[in-house]
Amino acid sequence: MRDVHVDQIAETIARLVQDANFKLEQDVTDAISRAKSLEEAPVGQAILLQITENYTIADTERVPMCQDTGVALVFLEIGQDVHLVGGSLTEAVNRGVATGYKEGYLRMSMLNDPINRVNTKDNTPAMIYTDIVPGDQVKVKVDCKGGGSENMSQLKMLPPSAGWEGAKRFIVETVANAGPNACPPLIVGVGIGGNFDKSALLAKKSLLRHVGAPHPDPEWAAREQELIEEINKLGVGPMGLGGTVTALAVHVEFFGCHITALPVAVNIECHSHRHKEAVL
């Protein structure tokens, strides 16, 4: 067993949420560069240039690239040979988020209660996802996810007879309905199968894939390709002002499901895809 102190996890998260808001990872900037070469509409091209300029300013001046600095999604892959010491993991994660958001002067967007709606003033609670994996390390992945794109996400329990064509229709319609509200160009995360909650989690986790990397199964990679072609035919374009690039990537993850079910979840991520990771 290897001891990992939860304070290390808190300190790492405090750093990652700031870095994520100030500087995009290479996979996202590469995807935007590809979009610039593909975008045919002059207005779309102009928006992509402005988006790139905004990224450069955020990086150079260490200021947030968007006013919505997001809800902190924290994905922990904990090696089964790790012994977490020093206190509660959940408290440590939230301490890290609170410290990072305060130190970085990031906007506090979280409420204590969805109906009473009092701001917690430290951007907690974080959304925490844990997986137990082989090994003696802890991988910490952070995604600071904007509310606008999350709000345009959808989940539907389709009848099995809907098949791939029905699933595809629902996914493309979800992006069409999102229009400009999710700040395209988008990364579209799709979860198919499992059950109600599993499909949503698959969609969420698919967003963590290297942007634009195809599914390892060629059949599913071909379906991703079908989807991005259909989505980019919608003409929504960068920031919804029209154009040929509505999505930077479509990532699909699947899981086995019950004979009566065909759950499909679409989790939409905006172009400000702020993710970082570290290994402890």
Residues that bind ligand SF4 (CB under 6 A): 66, 68, 146-149, 182-183, 270, 272
- Least Å distance, CB 67 to ligand SF4, is 7
Residues in contact with 120: Cβ distance below 8 Å, sequence separation at least 6, in sequence order: 108, 110, 111, 112
Residue 182 or 264: which CB sits closer to ligand SF4?
Answer: 182
Tell me the closest approach of the beta carbon of residue 158 to ligand SF4, in angstroms: 26
What angle, rounded to 10 degrees, do the helices at 6-22 and 89-103 form? Answer: 40
Q: In the complex, what is the shortest distance from the CB of residue 47 to ligand SF4, in angstroms, rounded to a whole number?
A: 12
| Identity of the residue, 12 or 153, whose beta carbon is nearer to ligand SF4 in the bound complex | 153
Compare residues 171 and 183 and give the one whose CB is closer to ligand SF4.
183
CB 59 within 8 A of CB 23: yes
Instruction: Give the residue nearest to ligand SF4 (CB).
Output: 146
Q: Minimum CB separation from ligand SF4 for residue 143, in Å?
A: 11
Within the chain, strands assigned E span: 2-5, 71-79, 82-85, 127-133, 138-145, 154-158, 186-194, 247-257, 262-269, 274-279
* Residue 40 CB, nearest approach to ligand SF4 (Å): 22
The single residue listed with the structure tokens 């409420």 is 111
Strand partners, 139: 77, 279
Scan for tokens 């006013």, then name that residue. 67
Angle between the N-to-C axes of helices 42-61 and 6-22, in degrees from 0 to 180, rounded to the nearest 10: 130
Pick between residue 10 and residue 270 the one whose CB is nearest to ligand SF4: 270
